[in-house]
Amino acid sequence: MKKQIVDSSKIIPMIRDISNAADEKEVLKVLFRNSKGLDDTYSKATLLEEYQTLKQAGKLTLTDKDEKRFLENIKTKKIRTMSGVTPITVLTKPYPCPGKCIFCPSDIRMPKSYLSSEPGAQRAHDNKFDPYYQTYNRLVAYEKTGHPVSKIELIVLGGTWTSYPEAYQLWFIKRCFDALNDFKPETNSPYLVVKTQLPYDEKKLVNLTGTYNSIVGLSRNDKMLAGEDSTWEELFASHAKNVNALCKCTGLVIETRPDEITKDEVVRIRRLGATKVQIGIQSLNDKVLKINKRGHTVAKTAEAFTLLRETGFKIHAHWMPNLYGATPASDIKDFSKLFADKKFRPDELKIYPCSLVEGTELMGLHNSGDWKPYTEKELLHVFKNILPTVPRYCRVTRVVRDISGLDIVAGNRKTNFRQIAEAELEKDKTKLSEIRSREIKDKRVNREDLVYKETTYLTAGTKEYFLEFVTDEDKIAAFLRLSLPTRQAKISEIEDSAVLREIHVYGGSVVVGKGEVGRAQHVGLGKELIKKASDISRAAGFERLSVISSVGTRGYYSGIGFTQGALYQHLKL
C-alpha cells in the first residue's frame, strides 16, 4: 500500500483538534481544513499511524482523556467492531466443489460461489489465498484504522469447506492461528509483502472451456501446493499458543452444505476449533431444491441442524428468495417454516436474493423466460413480510450479498436493500425483534439499568434457553444460548450435559484486560449469564454444564471453574 507523504508541522495540531472533535462531522472538517483538496486529504489510517510513531518517539503526549477521545474519533468504520468482536474473513483457494447449483457463480479465479469483485475475494487474491498473509494483513488494516484486535472471530469462507483435503484444512487453520499468534497489537506493524504464489497458473486460465471443476483441476500447479499440509499435532501446538496470545481467536466459523454434515465431520471441525457453521440451506421446498440442482433435500437440512445444535454449534443459515420455481408468495411461506418448524430455528441468518451472473445455468432459463428476477417492489414486499417474523433469538447478519452491480446481469443491484426495507417498516411503525436491530452498539450502560429476559423454544433434540440482558428500550447488551438435550447426545463427551452454545456481550470490541467504565463487556454480564445458565441446568436435573469454547476463550472459562476436555470444557454443577 502506498504511504501518504506527511507534513509533520500539521500532524500534532491535527491530532489535538481531532481529540477535541465532538462528532464525525468535526473530524472531517479537521481533515479537509488541512488538505489541498479531495486528492490531498490525510486518511484516518495515516494520522493514527503518525500518532503512534510520535507517541513512541516521545514527541507527543496527550492526557488519558484526550488520547481516548482521539482514538475513538479516528476509528474508521466503527460498525465493524460494535458487535463485541473483530471479524476477519479469509477465503480458501479455488477447488473442485461437489455442488451443481444452477445459480452458483463459477469464477475460476475464486473458490466456488464467490466472485473476484467481492471485497473479501479481492483481499484473498491480493494475498495469494495464503491464510497467514490474509489474516496478518487484515490485522494490520484493523490496527491502522483504530480497531482493537485482541478478540477475533475468524470466518473461513470458500466453496464447500468439507470437500477440501484434511491436510489442507489443517494447514489453512494452523496458518491463520500462526498469524494471530505472531501479530503484536499497538506496534504500528507494516503490511507484509506476500512471498507465495497464486495456487493456479494464471496463463493456463486463458481460453479454457469446461466446467468449473474441470478448469480448476487443469489449471492447478501442483508445484505451487507444496507445503500446504499440516498435522493435527502442529495445529494443536498453534492452538495452545493462542490461549495466551495478544490476538485471541474467540470464534472460528466454517461454511459447508447440509449433506456434508455427519457425526465424523462434526467431530473434525470441532477439533479444528470451530464453534459456528455457516450452512447453505437456500430453500425449505424440496421441489425448488431439486429444480435448482441443489443436491440435497429438506430432510437432510433438518438432520444437519439437529446434529450441529446437539453438539453445541451455532447455526448460521443462508436462505435465498427468488430461486427458480419460487414466487414472492411461496418465498414468504417458505421463510415461515424456518422458525415455525422446530426442526430448523437457526441462530443467525443471511438472506441472499438470487441474482443472475454470467456463466451460470440460470442464464439459459432467464433467456427463455422461465426465470426472472423480482422487481424492486416484489423484493421489498418479501422483506417487509419476513423480517418482522424473525424471533428475538436470531440475528439477521446480512441482507443481500456484496456483489458488484457490474457482475449482476439481472436482479437486485442495491447492496443497501436492508436499510431500504427497514426504513419502510419504520414508516409502518413495525419494530423488529431480531438481534442485529437491537444491539446496543457503542452505547454506555449501567448494570442497574439492564433487565434480565428469558426466552425458551423447542427444537428437534433440545429445549433452548435464550438469556438476555436488555435496556428499557429492549436494546440487547448481552445474551447466552443454552441447550438442554432431550435425547442421547451424539458425542459421548457431552452425554448428560447441558450445553452452553454461545455467550456474546456487546458494546464495542475492547482490548482484553483494559476495562472501560460503562462498556457492556466489562460489567460482568457474561459471568452473570453463566450463573443463570448453571441454575437452569441444575434445576432441570443436569449435573454438568459443557461449553463449546473457542481456543481463545479457554482461559476465560478455566478461570471460572471449567475444566478442559477433548472437545469441550466442563463445569460440575
443 confidence band (pLDDT: 50, 70, 90):
confident
State whether residue 454 is helix, strand or coil. strand
- Rounded mean pLDDT, 416-444: 90
Q: Are 390 and 278 contained in the same domain?
A: yes
Q: Which residue has the higher pLDDT, 27 or 1?
A: 27
In the chain, the amino acid numbered 55 is K
End-to-end CA distance of the chain: 53
Q: Are 27 and 21 in contact (CB under 8 A)?
A: yes
pLDDT at position 187: 81
Q: Are 187 and 242 contained in the same domain?
A: yes
State yes or no: pLDDT of 32 exceeds 70.
no
Rounded Cα distance between 463 and 441, Å, is 29
**For the chain, what is the mean pLDDT?**
87
- Rounded mean pLDDT, 69-94: 73
Alpha helices, H only, 274-320: 286-291, 298-310
Q: Is residue 266 part of a domain?
A: no
Reported as a single tens digit per residue, the pLDDT across 367-414 is 999 999 999 999 999 999 999 999 999 999 999 877 776 778 888 777
H or E element, residue 251? strand 248-256
- Rounded mean pLDDT, 20-36: 68
Q: Is residue 526 part of a domain?
A: yes
Residue 482 belongs to domain with CATH number: 3.40.630.30
Sort 457 into a burial class: Cβ within 10 Å, 0-12 / 13-18 / 19+: middle
Reported as a single tens digit per residue, the pLDDT across 286-308 is 999 999 999 999 999 999 999 99
pLDDT at position 332: 98
Instruction: Please state the separation of Cα 48 from the chain's center in Å.
Output: 26
- Rounded mean pLDDT, 555-559: 96
Q: Are 370 and 360 in contact (CB under 8 A)?
A: no
State yes or no: pLDDT of 223 exceeds 60.
no
Sort 375 into a burial class: Cβ within 10 Å, 0-12 / 13-18 / 19+: exposed
Of 181, 316, 164, 289, give the one whose Cα is nearest residue 237.
Answer: 181
Sort 38 into a burial class: Cβ within 10 Å, 0-12 / 13-18 / 19+: exposed
CA-to-CA dists, residue 284 to 327, 328, 338, angstroms: 14, 14, 8
57 confidence band (pLDDT: 50, 70, 90):
confident
- Rounded mean pLDDT, 148-153: 93
425 confidence band (pLDDT: 50, 70, 90):
very high
Q: Are 242 and 279 contained in the same domain?
A: no
Q: Are strands 569-572 and 563-564 parallel, antiparallel or unpaired?
A: antiparallel
Q: Which of 409, 437, 465 is a domain's end point?
A: 437
In the chain, the amino acid numbered 283 is S
Rounded Cα distance between 552 and 153, Å, is 10
Handedness of CA 445, 450, 452, 453 (dihedral sign): negative
- Rounded mean pLDDT, 299-319: 97
Residue 278 belongs to domain with CATH number: 3.30.750.200
Q: Are 310 and 485 in contact (CB under 8 A)?
A: yes
Q: Are 488 and 372 contained in the same domain?
A: no
Q: Is residue 528 part of a domain?
A: yes
pLDDT at position 521: 52
Q: Are 244 and 356 contained in the same domain?
A: no
pLDDT at position 450: 96
Q: Are 230 and 237 in contact (CB under 8 A)?
A: no
State yes or no: pLDDT of 509 exceeds 50.
no
486 confidence band (pLDDT: 50, 70, 90):
very high
Region of poorest pLDDT, from 166-175, 196-205, 311-320, 441-450: 196-205
State yes or no: pLDDT of 86 exceeds 80.
yes
Q: Are 88 and 153 in contact (CB under 8 A)?
A: yes
Q: Are 31 and 67 contained in the same domain?
A: yes
Q: Are 102 and 245 contained in the same domain?
A: yes
- The rounded radius of gyration (Å) of the Cα atoms in the chain is 24
State yes or no: pLDDT of 511 exceeds 70.
no
Q: Are 252 and 284 contained in the same domain?
A: no
State whether residue 46 is helix, strand or coil. helix
Handedness of CA 185, 189, 191, 196 (dihedral sign): negative
In the block, which residue shows the cell 448481552?
478
- Rounded mean pLDDT, 416-424: 89
Q: Are 250 and 354 contained in the same domain?
A: no
Rounded Cα distance between 14 and 25, Å, is 14
- Rounded mean pLDDT, 314-328: 97
Rounded Cα distance between 87 and 487, Å, is 35
- Rounded mean pLDDT, 474-496: 94
pLDDT at position 64: 76
Q: How many structural domains comprise the chain?
A: 4
In the block, which residue shows the cell 444437519?
304
18 confidence band (pLDDT: 50, 70, 90):
confident
Q: Are 130 and 226 in contact (CB under 8 A)?
A: no
Q: Is residue 263 part of a domain?
A: no
The Cα diameter of the chain in Å comes to 70
Q: Are strands 248-256 and 276-282 parallel, antiparallel or unpaired?
A: parallel
pLDDT at position 2: 46
Rounded Cα distance between 110 and 407, Å, is 14
pLDDT at position 510: 46
Rounded Cα distance between 482 and 352, Å, is 28
Reported as a single tens digit per residue, the pLDDT across 260-274 is 999 999 999 999 999
Q: Is residue 24 part of a domain?
A: yes
pTM, two decimal places = 0.85
pLDDT at position 117: 81
pLDDT at position 1: 42
Q: Are 378 and 492 contained in the same domain?
A: no
Reported as a single tens digit per residue, the pLDDT across 90-104 is 999 999 888 899 999
Q: Residue 223's domain spans which residues?
A: 86-256
Q: Are 432 and 443 contained in the same domain?
A: no
pLDDT at position 504: 94
Region of poorest pLDDT, from 103-112, 256-265, 311-320: 103-112
Q: Is residue 235 part of a domain?
A: yes
Q: Which of 393, 416, 437 is a domain's end point?
A: 437
Q: Is residue 499 part of a domain?
A: yes
Q: Are 198 and 328 contained in the same domain?
A: no
State yes or no: pLDDT of 454 exceeds 60.
yes
pLDDT at position 24: 62
pLDDT at position 221: 53
* C-alpha cell at position 368: 427463455
Rounded Cα distance between 274 and 271, Å, is 7
- Rounded mean pLDDT, 511-524: 54
